[in-house]
Amino acid sequence: MELATLDDAGLVTQAQEGSREAFGLLVSRYQERVLNLVYRRLDDREMALDVAQEVFLKAYRALPRFRADSKFYTWLFRIAVNESISARRRLVRRKTASLDATNSEGESGQDPPDTRFEPGAEAERLDDQAMVRRAIAELDDDLAEVILLRDIDQLSYAEVAETLQMPLGSVKSRLHRARNALRAQLVKAQAPEGG
């Protein structure tokens, strides 16, 4: 049987029966989406790579318990959302601790910002994307996750509800609040300083 022709359910079954190749194909199908989801939440490329790897490790370890009550990717995205939340909390704690630390010259212990993934002066479109990414990173976890899943990853409302394990009406309500909060963040980001 050609594994590459199987749908997610078939690959999950094969992986549960011990096929590492089947799980590898699942990783290949979803690694970019998981990485993008995590990166948009953390706004830190290196940390996002580490967290995405952890998502797939946790999924692999939990795969024997996956009963296909939900679609594989919504189950996987739930793991990614949870890991992103945990990583973001660690990141906030680390930033808070590093702001308190100074070296003997009185300088901050922080490394300079990683500009490799910043758009710089390349194009206005990239600047807008970076501004949106930063604004999403500033949202509360419950608001950011619904924006990321619905508006960025373009899951249906039903898929978002399944991923977040909440009623459809709650998803729509939270998404409305999240969009308003994101809009407010973007207005704040575009406001001239001191004005």
Residues paired with residue 108 on neighbouring β-strands, in sequence order: 102
Which candidate, 77, 82, 90, places its Cα nearest to that of 152? 77
Distance CA 74, CA 177 (A): 22
Q: Under a CB-based contact definition with an 8 Å cutoff, are residues 11 and 127 in contact?
A: no
**Token reading at 2:** 């050609």
- Given a cut of 50, whether residue 23 has pLDDT beyond it is yes
**DSSP assignment of 82-94, as one string?**
HHHHHHHHHHHHH
* Residue range 69-108, pLDDT digits in tens: 889 999 999 999 999 988 888 877 766 665 555 444 444 4
* Whole-structure pTM value: 0.69
The tokens 């709650």 sit on which residue? 170
**Token reading at 180:** 């308003």
* Residue range 157-186, pLDDT digits in tens: 999 999 899 999 999 999 999 999 999 988
* Residue range 141-164, pLDDT digits in tens: 899 999 989 988 888 999 999 989
Q: Mind listing the domains of the chain with CATH numbers?
A: 1-98 (1.10.1740.10), 118-189 (1.10.10.10)
